[in-house]
Structure 1
Amino acid sequence: MNPNVLFGEPDRTHRTLIGMRLDDEATVGERIAYFRRRRGYSQAVLSGLLGRSEEWLSQIERGARDLDKLSTILRVAEALKLEPTKLLPGPFHSTPRLGANGATLGTAPEVVPAIETAMLRYDGIASLIGVPDRGPVNTDELRRSISFAFVCSQTEQWSRMAPLVPEMITDSYHAVRQADSDASKREAKTLEALVYRVTSGMLDRLGETRLPWVAAERSMAAAEQTGDPLLIAGGAWRLAVVLRHAGRLAESTDVPIAAADALRRNDKNASPEHLSMYGSLLLKGAVGAATMNDHSAARDYLREIERTAERIGQDRNDFWLAFGPTNVAIHRVWLALEMGDPSRAIDLSDSVPMGRLPPELAERRTSHLITVAWSFYLRRKYREALDLLKEAKEVAPEQLIFTSRVHSMLRGILQRERRSIKTDLRELSDFVGVAA
């Protein structure tokens, strides 16, 4: 049989694309087109497998329509017989630039090789290659470094945090080896769990695909050795994020919900810290359910989350999770968008008490601004979207640099730019690193 009868006439660029290396910064649409051609599918075949129109797929591939919904990306990956991460943009590169206060931004990715080396060296391989012991680790200094790293993570100062990570990994490894009692071993394992949790979060933000998973699993393993249920739950929270970004949507929901169920069994006279962790886990469960289009479950989780936030009665930052009524309101907006209703997300955003968030929770504020900006963008209200992105840049500039959705938004607006926003658009695109 002529394969063109089955697959349709291949694109004229098919042979060229097969010999090309896909650029890390290729868009989702460009990646779909690339892998579709490599598999020999026509647009008609792939769109048929997806139950979509050929015009829909054509618009996605040429950038006339945005594809940012993870569940749809997973369906495309399944149809193309690919790992979902192959359709997502690759890791961010170091692109140094100056911030408003003269600080150098965008350099964190250049530290990733050193972090990877430390992760490889200071694990099981250490005894095989004979890593020598070092002088006594000052656990108080390590604890302060971990606290500073979490502050950086919540203010999206990745270029300040990244250079500290290899040494934190090294110190946490040696602290465990040097522990001379059960109590000091538990303390060292606690520090190790926190080092790998904050490291996983940073690597995730930088667009790495494999390392965040390794760091999250090490955090969970170290936490389990402490026997601390809240530290273990924190490891589950981080693992849920990594699972979602890897396209493991069922597990990204099951893991935090199972951890939340375990905490609920000890809910009598629960402390605020206990409730904060419980509510944060449920938020991840709601996110996973919404991404899988299980809107009923997402709403059920949200109702329980709201009750938990009411029990706490205030915004807290236990375990660096920022749980409280304001973060719940921020998630309510995000969930509305994820469940396909950008207009409702915009309406709900008016009721988010952003003034309650302290400066150290800049990541929460900026994430919310990006969510609302994307909602306006989907409604083709580019001026409003751009204004929100400019506001977000003032709060946490590196979050814009290392957020794929921001890059997608700016590329889309550039393709459809209006004269009235041209100057602001070009300035922000240059800062983020999107070619005009």
Structure 2
Amino acid sequence: MGDDRWSAGHAPHQAVPVGRRIEFRRTQRRLSRRAVANLVGRSEEWLRLIESGRLRLDSIEATIRLAEVLQIADFRELIDRPVPPERPTPAAAELVSALRPAILDHPGLADAMAATDMPATDWPAELLRCEQLWSRSRDRFTQTARFLPRVLVAARGWHWRTGGGDTTELLIGAYHLCRQVLSAMGAHDLALLVADRAVAATSGQDRPAVLAASAWHMSEALLPLHPAACRDFALATAQFVGQELIDEIALRGALQLVAAKAAATAADSMAADHLLTAAARTAHRLEGAHVACGVAFGPDEIALTRMEIALAAGDFDSVIAVATGLDGAESEPAGRRARYHILVATALAGRGDDVGAVYALVRAAEASPEDVRYDADAVRTLKQLLRDDNRMLRRELERLTELADLGGAR
């Protein structure tokens, strides 16, 4: 049997994840991970993430070079389907369970009866309270999950009883917030469901910006599940969004960004770069940041998207380079500040800078302790740092481990 085939007893390569095929061939050829990574021109951590299935090979050049180093005759053997989206952690699953009944119960009679528990004049103010908790609270996950189910039930109930009218846009806002919370916790199936309901609720609405915002939430919900569908849906919507009103311009840019992330996930780096450039032109028209129907768009969102795309590609240097233009300012929403520091921490850990990575995670925890617990990149990076077991950082790591509820995992 030639070197470019699997040995007897292994499943056909289509049934074996790319990462496992790479690791098998590397060990078969008695090559260290560091040696292979150096020959490909990437970091050892990048190859570890590829082999573990945490990253996809999204560069034709890197794929071809890796095939050459491992002496795999056909580089197409290293092309695989996207990594399945991560599921909620046990801690997140507990919070999701509080939202699930409010989402899955039929939005009819049950909601209409439950709505009597919250007067029509109260639930809009409660929805605003939930939005503020999600944006600013350091305990934004638990606090929002505590109050949002009752608000969502009331919103759907009063909308059902009144037949729409002024309650429709508020109901859509409740769905939008619910989608954000669910996506952040990894409950992608429920996030897609509420995003679809938001789009359906816009039927008959004479507000193009509200429809565009609902389409953006639908695109974000599709991204981890169906990247190609996400890209097509976001781009199709962006083409029909107006280009005169500031809200519509901002939403067009936000749709371009989610389409860029989808293109990058599908390993179409050229399309991703094109869409990022288009989003930058859209931001230039705004002359600054803008929030439309709860969707933020501007230079910072473009920079964060560039960081996420670079991180997914294992390009840690680019993540840090882009990060230098941002600072996670205190005036920014808690979640965005935390996400910025988590991206930086993950990139620094990938470069072997444990001290910098721990410091960045501490900064993330200062912005939002619960993001360190529920953000998948934060948890993964912290586990890596714990395995490194740097004694100089033990005190900080113990505190972060407690925040993340990892129970001393290594």
For Structure 1 versus Structure 2, the TM-score category normalised by the shorter chain is 0.7 to 0.9
Q: What displacement does 1:137 show?
A: 6.5
Contact 2:88 2:185 in 1 (8 A): yes
CA-to-partner distance for each residue in 1:348-368, whole Å, 9 max, x for gaps? 21122544x624x12112111
Q: Residues 199 and 215 of structure 1 are in contact (CA less than 8 Å); yes or no, is this contact kept in structure 2?
A: yes
Among 239, 246, 254, the alignment partner of 2:232 is: 254
Could you say what secondary structure the match of 1:314 adopts?
coil
Could you say what the CA RMSD is over the residues aligned between the two structures, in angstroms?
A: 3.5
Aligned match of 2:246: 272
- Residue 216 of structure 1: aligned partner: 195
Q: Using a 3 Å threshold, how does the CA distance of structure 1 residues 426 and 65 change in structure 2: closer, same or farther?
A: farther
1:68 aligns with 2:54: yes
Cα deviation for residue 179 of structure 1 reads 2.0
- Aligned partners of 1:130, 1:222: CA distance in 2, in Å? 16
User: Is the aligned partner of 1:52 residue 2:22?
Assistant: yes
Structure 2 residue aligned with 1:393: 365
Residue type matched to 1:117 in 2?
P
Residue 325 to residue 45, structure 1, CA distance change in 2 (3 Å): closer
Structure 2 counterpart of 1:419, one-letter code: R
Contact 1:47/1:53 (<8 A) preserved:
no
The answer for the alignment partner of 1:370 in structure 2 is 342
Shift of 1:379: 0.9
* Structure 2 residue matching 1:122: 3-state secondary structure: coil
1:197–1:150: structure 2 CA closer, same or farther, 3 Å change rule?
same
Q: What is the DSSP-based 3-state SS (H/G/I as helix, E as strand, rest coil) of the residue aligned with 2:348?
A: helix
Is 1:381 the counterpart of 2:353? The answer is: yes
After the TM superposition, which residues 223-242 of structure 1 pair with which residues of structure 2 at under 5 Å, given as runs? 223-242=202-221
Matches within 5 A, 1:292-307: 292-307=266-281
The residue identity in structure 2 corresponding to 1:150 is: E
Q: CA deviation digits over 1:376-427, x for unaligned, max 9?
A: 1111111111110001100011111101111111111222222222222222
Tell me how many residue pairs correspond in the alignment.
367
* 1:148 equivalenced with 2:129 (yes/no): yes
Q: Give the equivalent residue in structure 2 for 1:349.
A: 323
Match of 1:21 in 2: none
2:318 and 2:254 map into 1 onto residues whose CA distance is: 23
Contact 2:127 2:174 in 1 (8 A): yes
Q: Aligned in 2, Cα 1:50/1:424: closer, same or farther, shift over 3 Å?
A: closer
Residues 1:90 and 2:99 are matched in the alignment: no
Question: Displacement of 1:215 after TM fit?
Answer: 1.2
Q: Secondary structure at the match of 1:317?
A: strand
Shift of 1:218: 0.9
**Between the two proteins, what is the percent identity of the paired residues?**
20
Distance 1:55 1:396, change over 3 A: farther
Give the secondary-structure state (helix, strand or coil) at the position aligned to 1:210. helix
The answer as to whether partners of 1:134 and 1:174 remain within 8 angstroms in 2 is: yes
For structure 1, the residue ranges without an aligned partner over 5 or more in a row are 10-39, 73-77, 95-107
Cα distance change, pair 339–173 in 1 and its aligned pair in 2 (3 A): same
1:160 partner letter: Q
Distance 1:353 1:402, change over 3 A: closer
Residue 120 in structure 1 maps to residue 104 in structure 2: yes
CA distance in 1, matches of 2:335, 2:192: 21
- Counterpart CA distance in 2 for 1:45 and 1:257 is 32
Q: CA deviation at 1:159?
A: 0.9
User: 1:192: which partner in 2?
Assistant: 171
Structure 2, unmatched stretches of 5+, are: 34-44, 59-76
Task: Select between 395-404 and 143-152 the one with higher mean Cα deviation.
Answer: 143-152
Q: What is the distance in 2 between the residues matched to 1:337 and 1:134?
A: 44
Tell me, what secondary structure is at the counterpart of 1:52? helix
Residue 30 (structure 1) aligns with: none
Q: Would you say the 8 A contact 2:199–2:215 is kept in 1?
A: yes
Q: Contact 1:243 / 1:252 at 8 angstroms: preserved in 2?
A: yes
Q: Do structure 1's residue 177 and structure 2's residue 160 form an aligned pair? A: yes
Q: 1:161 aligns with which of 134, 144, 147?
A: 144
Post-superposition Cα deviations, 1:222-255, rounded to whole Å, max 9, x if no partner, equal 1234242211211221121221222x11012111
Asked if 1:419 is matched to 2:402, the reply is: no
Equivalent-residue separation in structure 1 for 2:263 and 2:293 (angstroms): 24
